[in-house]
Amino acid sequence: MAVCSVCFRHCDIPEGRLGFCGARTCADGKVTAANYGRVTSLALDPIEKKPLARFRPGSLILSAGSYGCNLRCPFCQNYGISWSDEAFGYAETAGYVPPEDLAGMALSCRDRGNIGLAFTYNEPLIGYEYIRDTAKLVHGQGMVNVLVTNGTADLSVLKEIAPYIDAMNIDLKGFTDHYYMDVLGGDRAMTMAFIEEAVRCCHVELTTLIVPGENDSEDEIRSMTEWIAGLKDADGNTCGRNIPLHISRFFPRFNMTDRDATDVRLIYRLADTAREKLKYVYTGNC
Ligand code: SF4
């Protein structure tokens, strides 16, 4: 039995069993990543698809995912690898790709325009050891690393990987504790602390999915962007106004099919609200 300290859930994991995310286990009394090197998805994507709008625009990045997630967003678009029965089935079936092999694949795609490796699709931080080991090799090849994350992890996890990560897209899914806790199964305070620290380490962009009836008020976007605008860089200078924010449109999926897709006009209106505080606001899925 051991306690996992990666996220706010602090799962007490019995020997040989899995934590809530389905990706971490207890072996010989120590917590380890059961999904280490278990790659379920691999694609050479445009960097804009991460989404990153202001980091190496126009380039491609080899994007890899594993399985498992520490949140329970009912509308997850990637439920097949995040938190469905199918996702947890990958514990048995996903192939093992050692860090050297994945870094080697990134290098072999370089002549097709690849700039490095993105850790994405499921929640990468629940298997941060693989990110650390692989990203180090990718840097050694003179390429970059990108992380696409829900930002729900302890700062000690960020510290482990930060030296090797060049850019992140972090979800800031809403700006109320109720939404984070009761709808997403998350922890807003942990996510905000992660974002605060990440902007001191590398290029950061944020994403907010607007779900009708949940996080779609102008007041909420106003409080959120006010907080973002006040974030500080490593020198203590306020830099938040320059952090890009992607405001995207929800579509009914997975366990949330009781409402329509977000009205495009609402997305544009909330983007305008965000622009009162932030310089770079992008709309997604419109
Ligand atoms: S990372 Fe997974 S095992 Fe660790 S505390 Fe979070 S949900 Fe539990």
The CA distances from residue 6 to 53, 60, 160, 224, in Å, are 29, 30, 11, 25
Angle subtended by helix axes 128-140 and 99-108, to nearest 10 = 40
Establish whether residue 126 lines the binding site of ligand 1, counting it when its CB lies within 6 angstroms of any ligand atom.
yes
What's the CA gap between 102 and 231, in Å, rounded? 34
- Burial environment of residue 1 by CB neighbours within 10 A (0 to 12, 13 to 18, 19 or more): exposed
Question: Ligand 1 atom 2: the closest Cα is on which residue?
Answer: 21
Establish whether residue 9 lines the binding site of ligand 1, counting it when its CB lies within 6 angstroms of any ligand atom.
yes
What's the CA gap between 233 and 4, in Å, rounded? 30
Establish whether residue 18 lines the binding site of ligand 1, counting it when its CB lies within 6 angstroms of any ligand atom.
no
Question: Ligand 1 atom 5: the closest Cα is on which residue?
Answer: 10
Query: What is residue 91's predicted lDDT score, i.e. its pLDDT?
Result: 86
Apex 202 CA angle, 196 and 208, nearest 5: 55
Distance 7 CA to ligand 1 centre (A): 5
Strand locations in the chain (E): 2-3, 12-13, 24-27, 30-33, 38-39, 41-46, 60-65, 95-96, 114-119, 144-149, 167-171, 203-210, 245-249, 281-284
Give the number of C-alpha atoms closer than 13 A to the C-alpha of residue 84, restricted to the C-beta side: 12
Establish whether residue 228 lines the binding site of ligand 1, counting it when its CB lies within 6 angstroms of any ligand atom.
no
Determine contact, residues 150/158, Cβ cutoff 8 Å: no
What's the CA gap between 195 and 192, in Å, rounded? 5
Question: Ligand 1 atom 3: the closest Cα is on which residue?
Answer: 19
Quick check: pTM over 0.85? yes
Distance 88 CA to ligand 1 centre (A): 14
Could you say which DSSP state residue 54 is in?
S
What's the CA gap between 66 and 119, in Å, rounded? 9
What's the CA gap between 1 and 27, in Å, rounded? 8
Determine contact, residues 66/123, Cβ cutoff 8 Å: no
Query: What is residue 179's predicted lDDT score, i.e. its pLDDT?
Result: 98
Give the number of C-alpha atoms closer than 13 A to the C-alpha of residue 155, restricted to the C-beta side: 12
Distance 15 CA to ligand 1 centre (A): 14
Distance 82 CA to ligand 1 centre (A): 13
Establish whether residue 11 lines the binding site of ligand 1, counting it when its CB lies within 6 angstroms of any ligand atom.
yes
Establish whether residue 34 lines the binding site of ligand 1, counting it when its CB lies within 6 angstroms of any ligand atom.
no
Torsion over CA: 211, 243, 71, 84 (sign) = positive
Distance 4 CA to ligand 1 centre (A): 6
Establish whether residue 76 lines the binding site of ligand 1, counting it when its CB lies within 6 angstroms of any ligand atom.
no
Establish whether residue 4 lines the binding site of ligand 1, counting it when its CB lies within 6 angstroms of any ligand atom.
yes
Residue stretches of the chain with pLDDT short of 50: none
Query: What is residue 92's predicted lDDT score, i.e. its pLDDT?
Result: 86
pLDDT tens digits along 128-158: 999 999 999 999 999 999 999 999 999 999 9
